[in-house]
Amino acid sequence: MTPELVSDPSAFPCEPPADLNDPDAIVGHDWHAFQAVERMGDHWDRPGWSDQHRSYYWMLTFSGATELIGLAQRCQKALHHLRMDPVPSDGLHVTMLRVGPTNQVSEDQIEQLIGLTQNLPVRAFRLLAHPLAGSRGAIRFSLTPWRPMIHLHAALSTVGDQAGIPGGNPTSAFRPHLGIAYNNKARLAAPVVEAVAPLRSLPPAVLDVTSVELVELRRQDRAYRWRIVHSAPLCLEVPVPTSNPK
C-alpha cells in the first residue's frame, strides 16, 4: 500500500497531485503550483549550511545518464539569461531523505543503516524527467510516476527509524523533483515562469533507477557535491513466495 501524502505548507507543492501515477496529472499539478508563485527566494539562504557543514542523505544520482544530462543542459542554456546557478552535469540528483548531520550520526549507525538496506523491499523502477516547472527557489524537472519513489522513501524512513538516526521529513510530505538550476536572489517569479513555459514541449528523459545512494553531502561553489558512502541495490525482480510442502 502506498503511504498517504497529505497537505503540508512546508512542502512544494503544498498539496499532492490527485493521481500519483498519471504523468499528465503530476506534470500539470507541478506547473500550476509554479505559476502560482509570486516571488522566488535565494535557494542558498538557509541557516545551518556553511562551507564546513556535512550531512548524510539518501539520493538518486545519475552519473552517465546522457539523455538526462543533454536535456538539462539544453534547458539550462535556454534559461542562461536568468543568471541562476545551473546544476552541474555530475550534480543532477533526486533528494530522497535526510539522514542527519555527520556530527549527529555515528559510524555504528551508518553501518547499521547499510546493513538494513541490503534487501530493501522496493523494486527497481523507471522514471520520466519532464521539462519543466519550478518552485520558490529553483527550476526543476517534474518526475513521473511518484508511486515507486514514495515506496522507496517510506522504506528508507523505516530503516532509518530502526537505526535511530535523526531522519528527515515524513513520507506524507515528500514531493519528488529534480532541480536543474537554483535561484540565487530574491526576484519576481512571473518572468521566470514565462521563460520556462516554451521548454515544456520538450520530450522527457528516461531514467532507470536500480539503486539508491547514501551520500555525505556538502555545498561547494554554489552547487551540491557529495561522497558516496554506500549504494543500496533495488530488487530487479519481485520475489516469488514459496509454499511449504505438506
- The answer regarding whether domain 48-233 maps to CATH 3.90.105.10 reads no
* Contacts with 5 (C-beta within 8 Å, 6 or more apart), sequence order: 16, 20, 150, 171, 172, 173, 174
Residues 240 and 233: their CA atoms lie apart, in Å, by: 18
Alpha-carbon dihedral 84, 90, 91, 95, rounded to 10 degrees: 140
3-state secondary structure of 83: coil
Helix 147-163 / helix 107-116 crossing angle, nearest 10 deg: 140
What order of strands is seen across the sheet that includes strand 55-61?
93-101, 55-61, 211-219, 224-233
Mean pLDDT in runs of 10 for the chain (246 residues)? 86 97 98 98 87 94 96 98 98 97 96 94 96 98 98 96 94 97 98 98 97 97 96 73 39
Q: Of the candidates 21, 232, 207, 219, which has an alpha carbon nearest to the alpha carbon of residue 119?
A: 232
3-state secondary structure of 191: helix
pLDDT at 2: 64
pTM for this prediction: 0.93
Burial class (CB in 10 A: 0-12, 13-18, 19+), 89: middle
3-state secondary structure of 152: helix
